[in-house]
Structure 1
Amino acid sequence: MSSQVAVMADADTVTGFRLGGIKAGYPVSNMEEADKTLKELVKQDFSIIIITEKIGDGIRETIDKFTKTSALPMIIEVPDKSGSIRKESDPMRELIKRVIGVEMVK
Structure 2
Amino acid sequence: MKSSIAVIADPDTVTGFKLGGIKTGYPVEDMNKAKTRLEELFKQDFSIIITTEKIGDELRETIDKLTRTSTLPMIIEVPDKTGPSERATDPIGELIKRVIGVEMVK
Pair in the same fold by TM > 0.5: yes
2:79, 2:55 → 1: CA distance?
A: 10
- Stretches of structure 2 lacking an aligned partner (at least 5 in a row): none
2:105, 2:57 → 1: CA distance?
A: 23
- TM-score w.r.t. length of structure 2: 0.98
Number of residue equivalences: 106
Give the SS at the match of 2:68. Answer: helix
Output aligned runs, 1:85-96, within 5 Å: 85-96=85-96
1:72, 1:66 → 2: CA distance?
A: 10
Q: State the shift of 1:3 in Å.
A: 0.5
| Deviation per residue, 1:3-54 (Å, 9 max, x gap) | 0000000000000000000000000011100000001001110000000000
- TM-score w.r.t. length of structure 1: 0.98
**Identical aligned pairs, as a percentage?**
71
Q: State the shift of 1:86 in Å.
A: 1.0
Residue of structure 1 in register with 2:26 after alignment:
26
**Runs of 4+ in structure 1 over 3 Å off:** none
Q: Tell me if 1:7 matches 2:25.
A: no
Residue of structure 2 in register with 1:84 after alignment:
84
Residue of structure 2 in register with 1:61 after alignment:
61
Give the SS at the match of 2:39. Answer: helix
